[in-house]
Amino acid sequence: MVLNLYDEVSAGIILTRNISNQEGNVILLLRHSAGHWDFPKGNIELGETELDAAIRELKEETGIIRFRIMPSFKHTITYKYRRNQKIISKRVTLFLGITDIKGVILSNEHVDYTWGIWVAPTTIPSTLLAIE
């Protein structure tokens, strides 16, 4: 018997769109109807691989079907959150993708999206990082 360590197992894609200017790359963020921003991602369905689920979720949540997966990137995070007074343990595997598509067709679970500029943490002035 295998003990399942997580209540939820999800997969998603950090989708970038390379723009030719000094600002660098942008990444797609979706705003969930609950108010938080996140990458396109969702639960892995029975019989799916992590990558299969991530690709399906990207297509379902954004309508974007033209993209490439960068094979050298795969990152897994774990966290806990509260849903209906219960603590949920979650594992999310993220892949990196690139597209030339700018427009997004949102699914009914999202209310907005943005292409945010990716900024390396080392380029952020220390005055913005100071917390008092």
Phi, psi of 95 (to 5 degrees): -110, 165
In a domain, 3, yes or no: no
User: Is 89:45 a contact under the CB 8 Å cutoff?
Assistant: no
Task: Report the CATH number that the domain containing residue 39 is assigned in CATH.
Answer: 3.90.79.10
Instruction: List 12's β-bridge partners, or say none.
Output: 41, 94
pTM for this predicted structure: 0.84
Q: Is residue 99 part of a domain?
A: yes
**Domain assignment of residue 68, yes or no:** yes
59 strand-pairing partners: none
Query: Is residue 117 domain-resident?
Result: yes
Domain count across the chain: 1
Give a yes or no: residue 2 inside a domain: no
pLDDT tens, per residue, the chain with 132 residues: 334 788 999 999 999 987 655 556 789 999 998 899 999 999 999 999 999 999 999 999 999 999 999 999 999 999 998 889 999 999 999 999 999 999 999 999 999 999 988 777 777 666 555 454
The dihedral built from the CA positions of residue 63, 69, 74 and 75, taken in this order, carries a sign that is negative
